Amino acid sequence: MAIKKEKKARVKKKGHPKFNVPNVGAKNRKRVPDRWHKQRGQDNKKRIKRDFMGATPTIGYKNPASVSGVRSDGKRLMLVHNMNELNAALRNPEIASYNIVISHDVGRRKRLEMAKIASSSGVRIVNGVHQ
Q: List the domain boundaries for the chain.
A: 13-67, 76-120
Tell me phi and psi for residue 69, to 5 degrees: 85, 5
User: How many whole angstroms from its chain centre is CA 126?
Assistant: 11
Could you tell me the pTM of the whole model? 0.65
| DSSP annotation string for 41-70 | -TT-TTTTT-GGG-----GGGPPPTTTTTB
CA 38 – CA 34 distance, rounded (Å): 13
**Residue-wise burial string across 38-47, b where 16 or more C-beta atoms lie within 10 A, e elsewhere:** eeeeeeeebe
Q: Which pLDDT score is estimated for 5?
A: 63
How far is residue 105 from each of residues 17, 57, 79, 109, 120, measured CA to CA in Å?
34, 32, 12, 12, 23
Q: Which pLDDT score is estimated for 12?
A: 80
Q: Residues of the chain whose pLDDT is less than 70?
A: 1-9, 130-131
Q: Which pLDDT score is estimated for 131?
A: 55
